[in-house]
Amino acid sequence: RDVVRSLNDGTQAIQDFRTQTDGQIATAVDDLNSLLSQFQDANKAVIAGTRSGTDVSDALDQRDALLKKISEYVPISTFTRGDNDMVITTKDGTTLFETVPRSVTFTPSSGYSAGTPGNTIYIDNVPVSAGTTDNTTA
């Protein structure tokens, strides 16, 4: 009996941990979307200043600070187009920002049982595959 109870308790602890982790993922996705929205504002300021010939140093600093924060959530690559317009992609090439932020979504599971897979993160309704490089744990 004690063995069965211990196994059941362990199973419940694992399922609770999975539910808690889902909540943390949902919060991180919300944070990432907020950062991408802020990046859009900073990027617009850089573009507008570049086009008008005004000093864009502050806007560039703000944009760089946002890039650093975004990279804490997902490994990114960037490239700059005309007028200092910047595009952000994930390391695997999925676009996160090009003129406007892409929608990153995740729906946490209401609960787990043994064998239930976790939900997927989506960028513009396209599932993000699990990472395979040394900077992921998926």
pLDDT single digits (tens) 107-135: 888 766 667 777 889 898 888 876 554 54
At residue 21, the pLDDT reads 87
Confidence of residue 90 (pLDDT cuts 50, 70, 90): very high
At residue 136, the pLDDT reads 44
pLDDT single digits (tens) 33-77: 999 999 999 999 999 999 999 999 999 999 999 999 999 999 999
Give the phi and the psi of residue 51 in degrees, each rounded to 5. Answer: -65, -35
CA-wise closest residue to 102 among 85, 124, 120: 124
Angle at 71 between CA 105 and CA 65, to 5 degrees: 115
Confidence of residue 8 (pLDDT cuts 50, 70, 90): confident
> Please, are residues 33 and 101 in contact by the beta-carbon 8 Å criterion?
yes
CA-wise closest residue to 45 among 4, 85, 91: 85
At residue 112, the pLDDT reads 65
H/E run at residue 102: none
97 forms beta bridges with 88, 101
Hey, where are the domains in the chain? 2-127
pLDDT single digits (tens) 19-36: 888 889 999 999 999 999
